[in-house]
């Protein structure tokens, strides 16, 4: 491995220059005007896979954006890693809050700033370079590898489950590896053993045919903005508990041992609060911040739209009100079942004074795994070699919908080894990736392939 580590060290600057090209492609999966850019990014990804020595690289078409597949299966008798990541990115708005343009990657103070730097192109690219280092130094990998890089993760992976189910033989492997999550903190690498699930809705309310003069009609009809506020206010009580009947029925409670482990992590609540700029933290009574984010479900309003929001004042009763809401779920909550409970509840509490319509948007199942399996242990050793630090074990509040599918449909354990930092602004302006973590992540990935390659199948 010395030769490989040397190779990675010598090529450090080249990696950054190449990553800049990847980050220059605006592969925003949510926006139709970027459809061609998303495809161009898939092609760039495929081309990169070919360059580093993967074989049978191809785009797999879906009803949406293409999936990129590539493999190297020359390690006879060794286990197979299925690596999953995504090449699509979130929209960039609000654009005016970016210090440098989101698709012109810029290095400042050891961080590379661009949309997709941490989520997830930078972390995918780290694995490409780890593969390349093995190939350049030894002409082979110490493990069999299959790469599955999708272009629809940020819009809910709607076509990926079908692809996985239709291609079980193609995707046969021993373990899934994913780098699409933050590490616990700067200098505290981690392995993530749990993700929350998601159920997302748009709520539309109509009060009248059109907007009304609030003087001529105020008092005579319900105001949909007010009704929406009243509905939303009934979703959670003052102690942060969700009031949808049946919502908690399937929640697996945090075990005392797990809570004790969370409490041992180097978490500074005051620093966390100050970094967020929140006057006070808020969450479900009876739980710590880490417990709330990692191990408890939540109901959030993502956005609201109604009436007059321009400068000055306009006396009007809006005809429409719209809200986007989502619920983060924990094991064993099922997004379909939770969605049904939410729909039943909102239909029950919505007054007859407005027309209600609900649109079910994306969702995903929560996921959690035991971390005493040999693959997780192997990842622990690799991370220690790359970062000079033993990783801690953490859960995360975010969602990667396909992880539960890999576990349930392919029966595979998943190792989530992410190198992002909690403050790297994923989905926000000034998204960035620490180049030291990127570099150590390449070394750790290169070790990971060797560690897993040495395990029995
Ligand atoms: N990389 C994130 C998932 C993530 C975030 C994992 C934070 C761990 C911690 C992923 O790209 C993402 O943003 N997922 C979406 C899923 C949704 C669009 C279905 C999410 O969590 O909102
Ligand atoms: Mn991601
Ligand atoms: Mn994301």
pLDDT tens figures, 62-71:
999 999 999 9
To the nearest whole percent, how much of the chain has pLDDT over 70?
A: 100
Helix or strand (DSSP H, E) at 257:
helix 256-264
Copy the structure tokens of residue 451: 């560690």
Residues 382 and 209: beta-carbon distance below 8 Å: no
The Cα–Cα gap between 147 and 145 comes to 7
To the nearest whole percent, how much of the chain has pLDDT over 90?
A: 99
- Over residues 89-143, the pLDDT tens digits come to 999 999 999 999 999 999 999 999 999 999 999 999 999 999 999 999 999 999 9
The Cα–Cα gap between 116 and 93 comes to 14
pLDDT score of 371 more than 90: no
Cβ within 8 Å of residue 388, ≥6 positions away: none
The Cα–Cα gap between 450 and 452 comes to 6
pLDDT score of 372 more than 90: no
Q: Which CATH number applies to 2-195+366-453? A: 3.40.630.10
Q: What average pLDDT does range 63-83 have in this prediction?
A: 98
The Cα–Cα gap between 410 and 220 comes to 58
For 144-244, strand residue ranges (E) read 144-150, 175-178, 190-195, 197-206, 212-213
The three-class DSSP label of residue 284 is coil
How much is the pLDDT for 16?
A: 98
CATH 3.30.70.360 fits 197-251+297-364, yes or no: yes
Phi-psi region of 219 (alpha: psi -120 to 50; beta: other; left: phi over 0): left
Helix or strand (DSSP H, E) at 355:
strand 355-364
Domain with CATH 3.40.630.10 in the chain: 2-195+366-453
The Cα–Cα gap between 254 and 368 comes to 12
Residues 400 and 228: beta-carbon distance below 8 Å: no
pLDDT score of 410 more than 90: yes
* CA 22 to ligand 3 center in whole angstroms: 17
How much is the pLDDT for 447?
A: 98
- Over residues 172-224, the pLDDT tens digits come to 999 999 999 999 999 999 999 999 999 999 999 999 999 999 999 999 999 99
Copy the structure tokens of residue 227: 């009704």
Q: Is the CB of 30 under 6 A from ligand 1?
A: no
Nearest CA to ligand 1 atom 17: 156
Q: What is the pTM of this model?
A: 0.96
Closest CA to 357 of 343, 337, 336: 343
The three-class DSSP label of residue 441 is helix
Q: Is the CB of 431 under 6 A from ligand 1?
A: no
pLDDT score of 428 more than 90: yes
- Over residues 223-245, the pLDDT tens digits come to 999 999 999 999 999 999 999 99
Q: What average pLDDT does range 356-361 have in this prediction?
A: 97
Copy the structure tokens of residue 10: 């010598």
Pocket test for ligand 1, best of 120, 153, 324 (most atoms within 8 A of CB): 153
Q: Is the CB of 364 under 6 A from ligand 1?
A: yes
Copy the structure tokens of residue 201: 């809705």
Q: Quick count: other Cβ atoms within 10 Å of Cβ 181?
A: 24
The three-class DSSP label of residue 325 is strand
Label residue 446 by pLDDT band (50, 70, 90): very high
How much is the pLDDT for 457?
A: 86
Using a CB cutoff of 5 Å, list residues around ligand 2, an ion: 119-120, 180
Residues 223 and 382: beta-carbon distance below 8 Å: no
Tell the residue number behind the tokens 């049946």, with chain if given.
Answer: 246
Q: Is the CB of 398 under 6 A from ligand 1?
A: yes
Domain with CATH 3.30.70.360 in the chain: 197-251+297-364
* CA 153 to ligand 2 center in whole angstroms: 7
Label residue 346 by pLDDT band (50, 70, 90): very high
Copy the structure tokens of residue 128: 């490409």
- Determine the Cα angle at 119 with ends 240 and 435, to 5°: 120
How much is the pLDDT for 219?
A: 97
Q: Which atom of ligand 1 is the closest one to the Cα of 198?
A: 19
What are the residue numbers of the active site? 88, 153
For 39-186, strand residue ranges (E) read 55-60, 67-72, 80-86, 106-108, 111-113, 144-150, 175-178
* CA 398 to ligand 2 center in whole angstroms: 9
* CA 389 to ligand 1 center in whole angstroms: 26
């Amino acid at each position: 491995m010395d030769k490989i580590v040397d190779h990675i060290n010598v090529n450090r600057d080249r990696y950054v220059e190449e990553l800049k090209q990847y980050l220059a492609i605006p592969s925003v999966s949510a926006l139709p005007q970027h459809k061609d850019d998303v495809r161009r990014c898939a092609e760039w990804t495929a081309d990169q896979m070919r360059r580093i020595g993967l074989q049978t690289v191809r785009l797999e078409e879906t009803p949406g954006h293409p999936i990129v597949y590539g493999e190297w299966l020359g390690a006879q008798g060794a286990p197979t890693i299925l690596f999953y990541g995504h090449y699509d990115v979130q929209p960039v708005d609000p654009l005016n809050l970016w210090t440098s343009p989101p698709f012109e990657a810029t290095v400042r103070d050891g961080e590379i700033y661009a949309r997709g730097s941490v989520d997830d192109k930078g972390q995918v690219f780290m694995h490409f370079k780890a593969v390349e280092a093995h190939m350049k130094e030894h002409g082979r990998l110490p493990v069999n590898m299959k790469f599955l890089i999708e272009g629809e993760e940020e819009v809910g992976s709607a076509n990926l489950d079908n692809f996985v189910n239709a291609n079980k033989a193609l995707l046969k492997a021993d373990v899934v590896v994913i780098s699409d999550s933050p590490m616990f903190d700067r200098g505290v690498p981690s392995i993530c053993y749990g993700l929350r699930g998601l159920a997302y809705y748009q709520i539309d309310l109509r009060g009248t045919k059109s907007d009304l003069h609030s003087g001529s009609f105020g008092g005579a009809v319900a105001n949909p903005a007010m009704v929406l506020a009243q509905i939303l206010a009934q979703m959670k009580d003052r102690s942060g508990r969700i009031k949808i009947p049946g919502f908690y029925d399937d929640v697996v409670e945090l075990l005392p041992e797990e809570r004790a482990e969370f409490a041992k992590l180097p978490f500074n609540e005051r620093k966390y609060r100050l970094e967020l700029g929140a006057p006070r933290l808020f969450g479900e009574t009876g739980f710590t911040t880490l417990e709330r984010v990692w191990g408890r479900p939540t109901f959030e309003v993502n956005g609201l739209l109604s009436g007059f929001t321009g400068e000055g004042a306009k006396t009007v009763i809006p005809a429409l009100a719209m809200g986007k809401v989502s619920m983060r779920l924990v094991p064993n909550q099922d997004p379909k079942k939770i969605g049904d409970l939410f729909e039943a509840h909102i239909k029950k509490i919505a007054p007859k004074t407005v027309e209600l319509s609900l649109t079910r948007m994306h969702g995903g199942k929560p996921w959690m795994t035991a971390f005493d399996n040999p693959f997780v242990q192997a990842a622990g050793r690799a991370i220690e070699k790359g970062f000079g630090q033993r990783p801690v074990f953490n859960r995360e509040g975010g969602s990667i919908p396909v992880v539960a599918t890999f576990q349930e449909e392919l029966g595979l354990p998943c190792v989530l080894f992410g190198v992002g930092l909690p403050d790297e602004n994923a989905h926000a302006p000034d998204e960035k990736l620490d180049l030291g973590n990127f570099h150590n992540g390449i070394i750790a990935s290169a070790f990971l392939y060797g560690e897993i390659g040495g395990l029995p199948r």
